[in-house]
Structure 1
Amino acid sequence: MKKYLSGASLIAVSAVICTAANAQVDQIVVTATKRAENAQDIPVAVQALGAETLEENRVDNFTDYLVQLPGVTAGGSGPGQNTIYIRGLASTTPNLTTAGVAGLAPNVALYLDEQPLSQPGRNLDVYAVDLERVEVLPGPQGTLFGASSQAGTVRLITNKPRIGEFEASASSSIETTKGGEMSNKFEGMLNIPVGDSFALRVVGYIDDQGGYIDNVPGTRDASESGRFRPEGTPRANGVPVSAQRAGFQSTSDLSGVTFLEADNANLVEEDFNDTQYTGFRASALYQINDDWSVTVMHARQDLEADGVFFADPELDEYDIQRFEDDRLDDDFHNTSWTVEGRIGALEALYTGAYTDRDTNQRVDYSDYLFVGQYLPDYICDYEVVYPSGAPMGTCQPPNLYVDSVTETKVFTHELRFNTPRENRLRATVGAFYSDLELTERNDFTYPGALNIINSDGSTGIGALPPNFPLTNGAATAGQIGNESDGGYFSDPGPFPDEVIFRNDILRTDKQFGVFGEINYELVPNVLTLTFGTRYYDIEVDFEGSANSAFDRLFPTTDSNGQPVESQCCGTNISAQFAPGNPFGAPDTASTDGFIFKGNVSWTPTDDLLFYATYSEGFRPGLLNRPGGAAGPGGFTVPFAIDTDEVTNYEIGWKMQLFQNQLQLNGNAFYVDISRLQTTIFDPSITNLFFSDNAANAEIMGVEGDVVWAPVALEGLTLSGAFSVLDTEIKEVLTPTNDVLAGEELAFAPNFQGNIRARYEWDVSNNYRAHIQSQVVYSGSSFSDIIEINKAKNDAWATLSASAGIHADHWSLEVYGENLGSTYGVLANNFVYDRERVTVLRPRTIGVRLGLTY
């Protein structure tokens, strides 16, 4: 029976085995060029974690494989809330409360087998169970993989059903974390053959991860608001903030104001960041005949998380103060199908997929207090905000939260053909289409707004008007279907009085592409030229509203006679991205064009490969909610931002030495970045997040991996990988002093690396034992390129170790992660002028039992 390997993206090598007879580095067949080829024979830079490496390092989720891959970093704040970055091509800290409204398109493509899963704002956190490998293809991959592969591609490759073989396995573990709770998990797999042409594979898992972050007692009041604390004032008068954050009454005498405290006493809890992954995956393979097969897969996962996964460096390690409940329910189901076979001499493949993801999240928004210039307008009496004499009155407790509901639906289709691989002239051609629809509703809730006293003596700000009509003058507010041309996506109301802002947005991203790559062996088996191109047509659209409730009367000057009109939020602040909108914004952010790739590879011997690559990548633009807002220096927030583009120059090498006992792979690269997109929160311009093409930048780097399996030391394997980066902003395009030339890019450590040693030996004819140790290091980096939003992530190193024994049908292992309890900072968020560091789990010791049949 003939089997054709499919592959919608890269693949790579890093699974290393040692055989008793002859220690060698194992070779893996990969599909980095969308053809099945030996990984060492393709001129592509690759990092990967093979099935054995995943098992040996107990990789289960996003953070587990992130720390194993030098050059790959992430911004975010916990499970289901991360954005992937490769080679330091990053600019900003993701903001989950506006992910759909203002989230940049991802610049790293995340694949599950043949289908892209990349989504704005937050990537799917797919549990890594029963995987064949996790693969990373760094550098622009746009010709074969499209817009979201500007900086690289990450692909999760699942194990497929196996015809004619019955397999069963189960694994269970229990762990204890220093200063935290117990964790436990169970995974099970069945591969069931049905006749000679059909097989079914089913995988299930449940992983309960105990918490390790403590919500500690604390109080907070509105005197700490950016509105009330000028830069340089002592803490007793309010914590200093950036001058760009300070409110227009920051120098007011507040001695007559009563500040009511927010107190988190009823929320205090140790180890409050519990997480549970629950899910299954079922796949079926039908071999129609020797030439054609069909594979169908359905996966379902529910991720539930409580609390937060970041800490406050001003408190004790792993401590935070939260004043409202934080919780996340992230559920997705995914169905994919692949048909592959042969049409004459051509290998053909069609693949499609549908993904539906729902997230319900509640986020404590109280940190907005520190930069919320206008927060007192919502939680303080009128006489505090606009005093007729000395400020007097009451400010309510600043406990704020956001209720966020999102639904993301994605359809993808790809059709491609390969000419025979034995020809000197080979080609891969195809077409791709995707349609993403993201509905997001965020309710910004200020409970204290119910108790403020207005200028006329009334109490409370007033309810948010239901779906304020924007483009349809004859519309009835609150009547669904006639508010505007764009439509709305939530109930018509009335909304809760304490909901002060509501973002209600539909975002659609549509992408069409035609791609091709041609290889020609100029000198057979020695010198090969490659040329690739892609035509793309992408359209990003917003429809919806951003409404506010604010019923009090506003003066035009403050107590000193200074104008305050422009400082205030106004009534019914709304934005509508739809035809005929009154603000003059474009209907869509659209782009089309071509990108190119060129490569020359030289194979002087079977064990040596050298290559040089030129490649291009891009990311689509998007629309801005506060388009047209005026900032300092004549800057105006653009209604739409342009694509950002990268040009990559790279040389690389792959070497197998000493009869394949030693493998050395590496590359050096230079990346030129034009019109780098970033998200900016600068209240001196507008009180909303907006995006802009902020700068031109460059990246230089070297990365590589080494594997040594010496014959003289049978059973020993040494492996390691590293990444060296030098990033710099060369030219600033946004004239607001938010970005500075000469600074580094975000999430770009100068050095990352790991080294692992594993030794296996036979205890008897039936038992084999192992010991293993690994060190992972990450250098320091910054969390943003926006000066007022960035903080430094300190360097860290961590040690893990394991020891175990296995027989034909069972295994037992004891292991330890982060043995030194390193307080390793994975990400940092300083958007609200307070550091919030996402850190590694403290020392964790566990035992794992595995069974196979």
Structure 2
Amino acid sequence: MKISKLSCAVLAALAATPAYAQEDASKVSKSGKASIETIEVTATKRSESIQDIPVSVTALNGQALENLGVDNFQEYVEFLPNVIFQGTGPGQNEIYIRGAATTQSNISVSSVQALQPSVAFYLDEQPVSMQGRNLDIYATDMERIEVLPGPQGTLFGASSQSGTVRLITKKPDHTGFSAGVDTSTSFTKGGEMSNSVEAFMNFAVTDELALRVAAYTDNQGGWIDNIRNDPSNGGYIGSAVVIDRISGGVLSDPQNTPVDSPENDALVEDDFNDAIYSGARFGLSYIINEDWDLLVQHTQQTLSTEGVFSYDPNLEGETSTNRFVPEDNDDEFGLTTWTLDGRMDKLEVVYTGGYLNRSIDSTIDYTGYTNGGLFSAYYVCNYGGDVAPEDERCLDPTKYYKEKTDSTRMTHELRFNTSSDNAWRVTAGVFYDEQELNSVGRFNIANTEKFDNLARTLVGSEGINTNGGPFEPSISFVNDIQHDIDQVAVFGQFEYDVTDDVTATLGARWYQIEDTYKGSTTTVDVSRRLRAFGTQDPDELAGIDAGAVDAIASGQLEVDLLDDNGTLTVDDVILKASVDWKVNEDVLVFATYSEGFRPPVTNRVGGGLATNQTGAFENFRIPVYSTTDSLDNYELGMKGDFLDGILRINATAFYSEITDLQTSRYDPTNISFLVFTDNVGDAEIRGLDADITWLATDNLVINAAFSVLDTELTRINSALDGIAPPVGSKLPYSADFSGNIRARYFIELDNGLTAYVNGSISYTGDRLASMSMDAYALEDAAQLVYGAGTGLSIEQEAAVYQGVTYPDSNGETFRGGRYIQDSYVLANLAFGITNEEWKAEIFIDNVTDEQATLYIDAQQYTPKIVSNRPRTVGLRLSYDFF
């Protein structure tokens, strides 16, 4: 039976599923019917068929991304149900896989807090992960996106704790010239127009030399409105009574205290959350001889955003917010990578390296910091003695934060692969990673003369990076941090064919990480503090905290990982083992054990005694560093083609144990006004991932994928009793069930034309926000600040919050609970016509105009909701030259 041209096109469309056909390859089963073709992936650092490796792999190839209209980070995650992101907008997200999620810090301190991600993010061979702010790489001219759920630490190192995401670019092609251009224009309901242009050109300069260039610009119009603040109609009240209530009654006569309400008339603007991606990638491939070749690539990208990507549930509608400072975020990076690939007899040798340089400039409205509790009146109201005049009054609470962060990352890896024809196979190598981050954050948070004076002096510290100071009088607090991470690792993986159908695999990785944290804040000399804990010199420790010596002696504070210079060093060996059985030529089953980890995290104010010494905080000290959290993973998987090759089912059941799960904490009322990290306890995760591809007919392809999760905290750090959710609670951000289904239907027309319809529906279930049971306290703040609650759902998890009873104005107590990020369904449609050279498509994204709760942001101490783009209708055109 001969396969029609349409059938081949249908097979190519399978690239839109996790098990994915080659773009221009078809496969014929023994019966002569069309069947699913698989692609080659490099999940094991060898090029192998996705169906033949005992690794759970999800992928979207270049054709899939084009079919789905996917370009940026938020868009492609939507079609990977075992992957989630949480954050406040483009360039400000964290990735989580298989429910291994915890609370990260907010964007304003993510660079200095240094909590490492649990998912490694790669562009080709280069790790580009960064704490707090995932590198938001525009997905243009991509070969595929690979997602490797579960620990991948033996091959991919630190931060591959719960998985790895890899963007694989298209490389220069030596066969000849080709070029293409894609453009789109769209209109968003209640928002601005968006438009994009992407293009590539490939040149075979000589038989040995090829060049590929890809460039893009994508202007994404906004839809969030910054409306006028009107305290009489649900806006920010700015009342002295509110300040007094939040601050615990520090004002003598709040009812009669004059107050200046914040104004934002000059900043009122519709659709003010714009985002612009622009960049280019250059690739050069040189065939040195028949055994060796060299690839060099450089990617340059700028991401510029204005406004915020969240709305205020206290205001009218689902696209309104009150902001009082012009906000922007400029995120630029340059990444140069190189790969030398060759053979020495039957041994494959690969040397790869990369240099990443990233710069972030941000201005953030910090007015909501006034809502933070203990220090509210201190920052806003003049009161008491030598701090201010006798006439008590509260000033305009408008505040801002400016960040300048520059980071670099240099990596080198040399690895060796034995021949895949052997009954035994080895992949082994060495890896070196050098990261440096310099961050200066300037906070305008106070209106008192005392803080204006403090702003003029930055605490000195040997070896820190400063921006010159003194700072302008409006700056009342400064973070000035240099953070260096050096890592060396040796890794190996051994595979042995026990029989023709059974293979055993054993992998291991030894690593050593040195973490050097230097700098200061306006009030804390971090470098001196860490050196004192490293030397354990009683005199130095006494100068920091008189009780620190006893806290170390009693074991309350752990400092053994610090050397005399305050550098934190950790080393260990992690393992992986698996057995796979090729049941027949179409079905593979496997069992795997694997380990993953995140390195320790140093705290700026480690060792400090909590401000509040009652209830849950009595005798509490901030850890000098949070210890390594580790993940042990057990999984059973199956990959199979059925019904003579027209149905593919890949599924993996897994069980994971997390020990000493790291989390971010911020409690200015009770502990410290600086964010720090802690180990919340232990957790277990049980789950099932699956993806399905079905060639329903020669004209219809159906793809589906889903993830089922059951997460549970099994042990709580005693210092977090009554603060973190109790034993038996769920981990944050991950739904019990999420999934999607996609269909692509083709119709052959005359003159070589093909019409098609694409449709997709994705579902995400209810998710809990954060690791802290602070929802009722935040609701109380919202009532005070806006005069009304948020209307958000809350799951109560404890009778009281933070382990003690705090009476509010009604004599009630703060219960412990977390906000619920409610479930949502998103649907997309596209109608197009194409031949081998051009394509025209009309698309409707978010057909039902669903306002999904993607993330609840508590950075302003009253919740804001990060949501998706409203219904968007547009036109895509593309043309390829050969």
- For the criterion TM > 0.5, the same-fold answer is yes
Contact 1:378 1:461 in 2 (8 A): no
Following superposition, the deviation at residue 674 of structure 1 comes to: 0.3
Aligned counterparts of 2:873 and 2:77: Cα–Cα separation in 1: 20
Aligned counterparts of 1:32 and 1:812: Cα–Cα separation in 2: 34
- Partner secondary structure for residue 154 of structure 2: helix
- Partner secondary structure for residue 602 of structure 1: strand
- CA deviation map 1:777-831 (0-9, x unaligned): 1011122111126422110001100011112221100001001110111111225
Contact 2:19 2:692 in 1 (8 A): no
Counterpart selection for 2:133 from 122, 135, 151: 122
Q: Which residue of 2 aligns with 1:107?
A: 118
Aligned counterparts of 2:175 and 2:641: Cα–Cα separation in 1: 35
Greater displacement, 686-695 / 182-191: 686-695
- Partner secondary structure for residue 137 of structure 1: strand
Q: Which residue of 1 aligns with 2:571?
A: 592
Q: Which residue of 2 aligns with 1:733?
A: 717
Relative distance call for 1:578 and 1:226 in structure 2 (3 A) is farther
Q: Which residue of 2 aligns with 1:820?
A: 848
Contact 1:541 1:577 in 2 (8 A): no
Counterpart selection for 1:464 from 455, 462, 485: 455
1:228 paired to 2:253: no
1:634-783 aligned at under 5 Å gives the runs 634-683=619-668, 684-710=670-696, 713-736=697-720, 737-739=722-724, 740-783=726-769
Q: Which residue of 2 aligns with 1:512?
A: 488
Q: Which residue of 1 aligns with 2:20?
A: 14
Q: Which residue of 1 aligns with 2:599?
A: 620
Partner amino acid, structure 2, of 1:14: Y
Relative distance call for 1:364 and 1:174 in structure 2 (3 A) is same
1:403-552 aligned at under 5 Å gives the runs 403-446=402-445, 449=447, 452=448, 461-462=452-453, 464-469=455-460, 484-491=461-468, 493-524=469-500, 526-548=501-523
Aligned counterparts of 2:843 and 2:260: Cα–Cα separation in 1: 49
**Unaligned stretches of 5+ in structure 1?**
1-10, 230-245, 455-459, 470-483, 549-571
- CA deviation map 1:51-88 (0-9, x unaligned): 11100001110011011110111121001111111011
1:321 paired to 2:322: yes
Percent pairwise identity: 39
Aligned counterparts of 2:751 and 2:241: Cα–Cα separation in 1: 70
Counterpart selection for 1:140 from 148, 151, 171: 151
- Partner secondary structure for residue 369 of structure 1: helix
1:610 paired to 2:589: yes
Aligned counterparts of 2:85 and 2:449: Cα–Cα separation in 1: 45
Q: Which residue of 2 aligns with 1:358?
A: 359
Aligned counterparts of 1:386 and 1:128: Cα–Cα separation in 2: 54
1:394 paired to 2:401: no
1:75-90 aligned at under 5 Å gives the runs 75-90=86-101
Q: Which residue of 2 aligns with 1:785?
A: 771
- Partner secondary structure for residue 64 of structure 2: helix
Relative distance call for 1:696 and 1:372 in structure 2 (3 A) is same
Following superposition, the deviation at residue 490 of structure 1 comes to: 1.1
Partner amino acid, structure 1, of 2:497: E
Q: Which residue of 2 aligns with 1:4?
A: none
Contact 2:292 2:342 in 1 (8 A): yes
Q: Which residue of 2 aligns with 1:91?
A: 102
Aligned counterparts of 2:455 and 2:734: Cα–Cα separation in 1: 42
Contact 1:118 1:124 in 2 (8 A): yes
Aligned counterparts of 2:146 and 2:385: Cα–Cα separation in 1: 57
Relative distance call for 1:818 and 1:353 in structure 2 (3 A) is same
Greater displacement, 11-20 / 352-361: 11-20
Following superposition, the deviation at residue 579 of structure 1 comes to: 3.5
1:181-196 aligned at under 5 Å gives the runs 181-196=192-207
Following superposition, the deviation at residue 123 of structure 1 comes to: 1.1
Over the aligned positions, Cα root-mean-square deviation in angstroms equals 2.1
Which structure carries more helix by proportion? 2
1:202-213 aligned at under 5 Å gives the runs 202-213=213-224
Following superposition, the deviation at residue 650 of structure 1 comes to: 0.4
Aligned counterparts of 2:756 and 2:124: Cα–Cα separation in 1: 31
Greater displacement, 306-315 / 12-21: 12-21
Aligned counterparts of 2:467 and 2:195: Cα–Cα separation in 1: 39
- Partner secondary structure for residue 63 of structure 1: helix
Partner amino acid, structure 1, of 2:769: S
Partner amino acid, structure 1, of 2:498: L
Greater displacement, 373-382 / 19-28: 19-28
Aligned counterparts of 1:32 and 1:702: Cα–Cα separation in 2: 20
Aligned counterparts of 2:528 and 2:752: Cα–Cα separation in 1: 70
1:31-42 aligned at under 5 Å gives the runs 31-42=42-53
Aligned counterparts of 2:452 and 2:126: Cα–Cα separation in 1: 48
- Partner secondary structure for residue 51 of structure 2: helix
Contact 2:104 2:132 in 1 (8 A): no
Following superposition, the deviation at residue 373 of structure 1 comes to: 2.0
Contact 2:114 2:602 in 1 (8 A): no
Partner amino acid, structure 2, of 1:767: L
Q: Which residue of 2 aligns with 1:558?
A: none
Following superposition, the deviation at residue 224 of structure 1 comes to: 6.8
Relative distance call for 1:531 and 1:252 in structure 2 (3 A) is farther
Q: Which residue of 2 aligns with 1:289?
A: 289
Q: Which residue of 2 aligns with 1:8?
A: none
Following superposition, the deviation at residue 714 of structure 1 comes to: 1.2
- CA deviation map 1:564-591 (0-9, x unaligned): xxxxxxxx78664554584477412321
Following superposition, the deviation at residue 461 of structure 1 comes to: 3.4
- CA deviation map 1:224-251 (0-9, x unaligned): 797521xxxxxxxxxxxxxxxx534368
Counterpart selection for 1:27 from 1, 23, 38: 38
Aligned counterparts of 1:384 and 1:310: Cα–Cα separation in 2: 41
1:806 paired to 2:834: yes
Contact 1:71 1:86 in 2 (8 A): yes
Aligned counterparts of 2:21 and 2:313: Cα–Cα separation in 1: 38
- Partner secondary structure for residue 376 of structure 1: helix
**Unaligned stretches of 5+ in structure 2?**
1-16, 231-235, 534-539, 549-558, 611-616, 776-817
- Partner secondary structure for residue 40 of structure 1: coil
Partner amino acid, structure 1, of 2:289: N
- Partner secondary structure for residue 419 of structure 2: coil
- Partner secondary structure for residue 53 of structure 1: helix
Q: Which residue of 1 aligns with 2:383?
A: 382
Partner amino acid, structure 2, of 1:279: G
Following superposition, the deviation at residue 14 of structure 1 comes to: 3.0
- Partner secondary structure for residue 684 of structure 2: strand
Contact 1:221 1:260 in 2 (8 A): no
Counterpart selection for 1:49 from 60, 81, 96: 60
- Partner secondary structure for residue 534 of structure 1: strand
Aligned counterparts of 1:749 and 1:252: Cα–Cα separation in 2: 47
Q: TM-score by structure 2 length?
A: 0.85
Partner amino acid, structure 1, of 2:444: T
Following superposition, the deviation at residue 257 of structure 1 comes to: 1.2
Aligned counterparts of 2:27 and 2:188: Cα–Cα separation in 1: 37
Greater displacement, 172-181 / 800-809: 800-809
Following superposition, the deviation at residue 324 of structure 1 comes to: 0.8
1:311 paired to 2:311: yes
Aligned counterparts of 2:241 and 2:341: Cα–Cα separation in 1: 60
